[in-house]
């Protein structure tokens, strides 16, 4: 039986100087995130403001409009396009009594909570959630007990939010110690791989660019089992847990290939911090394949987002090959680009050219 989807109203502020196209793209991405979390968008409210109101995010008149819209649409929650402060959350909850308030950060954390599978991934998401929640708790978590279930309330460690801040800090310390052990184990494995002389290729890119589809294609063609290794579909953040496999290139040369979590505009700093040890796999890779959805009208801005995250991680000095994916969705294939390769991970088009390029970069 299919679960009933929560009804969500989206709220976005158009900043000064932001053009219509960029603003529409941001709202469309927020809608995609809402759907990825299992929600249904039933309404959108926007406002042009120089900056958000420090107390209620939007203006008082817009807040009244939001009250009417949530009542008319029988909404379960309101999702805001930026991270809200504790004061904004408290005031909005009082104004929209009975309606859940979720900001962009909490929405992404919710998706990560649903998708994490490995022990490390679950711990990383819990750490990010607790660091996000800690400054937003009042008393002993009374406001959390009223939230019920659904978007924004899922994930390992949620029951810990009923405890006071001291207990939450203790849990954060426990998770950090466990993740440090995992990090050291990862480092030992990395050094072992380096001693073996195996080169490593890491796939990076914006979420839903097709990294996992390309990873599966390479495994089907070059892995000894000839099978797909990770789940891939059109949902945002389908891949959270880093997966590494050994593949054999033409001529018998063996290399390691790693699929990584996708990036996104304004990726919550709590998540970047929690997933740093995982993301740092990109720093140690010999080659980064930056997978880009060439069919996306906003692909250039997404390239910039990925490049910024790589720079923040210290991986911007790696040897990077841009892989323009999803050419099967274009009417015509673009002219050859000296700075990248055009492929379709879904159909396999361009794979031979990509493999030749990789082999040349490894020599």
As a whole number of angstroms, the distance between CA 328 and CA 295 comes to 9
Structure tokens at 186: 């990862």
**Binding positions for GTP:** 205-212, 237-241, 259-262, 325-328, 344-346
As a whole number of angstroms, the distance between CA 135 and CA 212 comes to 35
Quick one: pLDDT at residue 31? 96
**Binding positions for Mg(2+):** 212, 239
Quick one: pLDDT at residue 354? 94
Quick one: pLDDT at residue 235? 52
Closest CA to 290 of 277, 307, 278: 307
Burial tier of 24 (Cβ tally within 10 Å: 0-12, 13-18, 19+): middle
Quick one: pLDDT at residue 116? 81
Identify whether the C-beta of residue 290 lies closer than 8 Å to the C-beta of residue 204: yes
Quick one: pLDDT at residue 157? 46
C-alpha triplet 144, 148, 153: angle, nearest 5°: 65
Quick one: pLDDT at residue 149? 66
As a whole number of angstroms, the distance between CA 349 and CA 154 comes to 40
The 3 state secondary structure assigned to the chain is CCCCCEEEEEEEEECCCCCHHHHHHHHHHHHHHHHHCCEEEEEEEEEECCCCECCCECCHHHHHHHHHHHHHHCCCEEEECCCCCHHHHHHHHHHCCCCEEEEHHHHHHHHHHHHCCCHHHHHHHHHHHHHHHHHHCCCCCHHHHCCCCCCCCCCCCHHHHHCCHHHHHHHHHHHHHHHHHHHHHHHHHHHHHHHHCCEEEEEEEECCCCHHHHHHHHHHHHCCCCCCCCCCCCCCCCCCCCEEEEEECCCCCEEEEEECCCECCCCCHHHHHHCHHHHCHHHHCCEEEEEEECCCCCHHHHHHHHHHHHHHHCCCCCEEEEEEECHHHCCCCCCCCCCEEECCCCCCCCHHHHHHHHHHHHC
**Binding positions:** 205-212, 237-241, 259-262, 325-328, 344-346
* Residue 280 Cα to chain centre, angstroms: 15
Q: Which strands, in side-by-side order, build the sheet including 6-14? A: 39-48, 6-14, 77-80, 100-103
For every one of its 363 residues, what pLDDT tens digit does the chain have, with 9 covering 90 and above? 567 899 999 999 998 888 888 899 899 999 999 999 999 999 999 999 999 999 999 999 999 999 999 999 999 999 999 999 999 999 999 999 989 999 999 999 998 888 887 888 889 889 999 999 888 876 434 444 444 567 776 654 444 445 578 888 999 999 999 999 988 888 888 888 778 888 999 999 998 899 989 998 998 888 766 555 555 445 555 555 678 888 888 888 889 898 888 888 877 778 777 777 677 778 888 999 999 999 998 899 999 999 988 888 888 778 999 999 999 999 877 666 777 999 999 999 999 999 999 999 988
Structure tokens at 184: 């050291």
> Whole-model pTM?
0.83
Handedness of CA 54, 58, 64, 70 (dihedral sign): negative
Quick one: pLDDT at residue 236? 52
Quick one: pLDDT at residue 103? 96
């Amino acid at each position: 039986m299919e679960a009933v989807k929560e009804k969500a109203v989206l709220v976005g502020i158009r900043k000064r100087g932001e053009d219509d196209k960029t603003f529409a793209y941001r709202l469309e991405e927020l809608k995609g995130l809402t759907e990825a979390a299992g929600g249904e968008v039933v309404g959108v409210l926007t406002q042009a403001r120089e900056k958000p109101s420090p107390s209620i995010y939007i203006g008082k008149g817009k807040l009244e409009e939001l009250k009417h819209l949530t009542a008319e649409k029988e909404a379960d929650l309101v999702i805001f396009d930026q991270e809200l402060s504790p004061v904004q959350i408290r005031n909005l909850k009082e104004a929209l009594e009975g309606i859940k308030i979720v900001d962009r950060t909490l929405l992404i954390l919710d998706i990560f909570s649903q998708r994490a599978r490995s022990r490390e991934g679950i711990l990383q998401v819990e750490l990010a959630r607790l660091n996000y929640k800690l400054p937003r708790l009042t008393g002993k978590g009374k406001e959390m007990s009223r939230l019920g279930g659904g978007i924004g309330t899922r994930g390992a460690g949620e029951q810990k939010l009923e405890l006071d801040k001291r207990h939450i800090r203790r849990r954060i310390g426990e998770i950090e110690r466990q993740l440090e052990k995992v990090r050291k184990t990862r480092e030992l494995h990395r050094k072992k791989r380096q001693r073996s002389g195996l080169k490593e290729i890491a796939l990076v890119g914006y979420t839903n660019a097709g990294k996992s589809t390309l990873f599966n294609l390479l495994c089907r063609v070059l892995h000894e089992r000839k099978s797909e290794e990770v789940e891939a579909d059109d949902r945002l953040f389908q891949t959270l847990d880093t997966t590494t496999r050994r593949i054999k290139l033409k001529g018998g040369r063996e290399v390691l290939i790693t699929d990584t979590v996708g990036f996104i505009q304004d990726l919550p700093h709590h998540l970047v911090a929690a997933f740093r040890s995982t993301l740092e796999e990109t720093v140690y890779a010999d080659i980064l394949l930056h997978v880009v959805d060439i069919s996306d009208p906003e692909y250039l801005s997404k390239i910039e987002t990925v490049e910024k995250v790589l720079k923040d991680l210290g991986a911007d000095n790696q040897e990077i090959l841009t892989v323009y994916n999803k050419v099967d969705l274009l009417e015509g294939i673009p002219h050859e680009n000296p700075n990248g390769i055009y492929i379709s991970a879904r159909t396999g088009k361009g794979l031979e050219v990509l493999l030749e390029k990789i082999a040349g970069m490894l020599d």
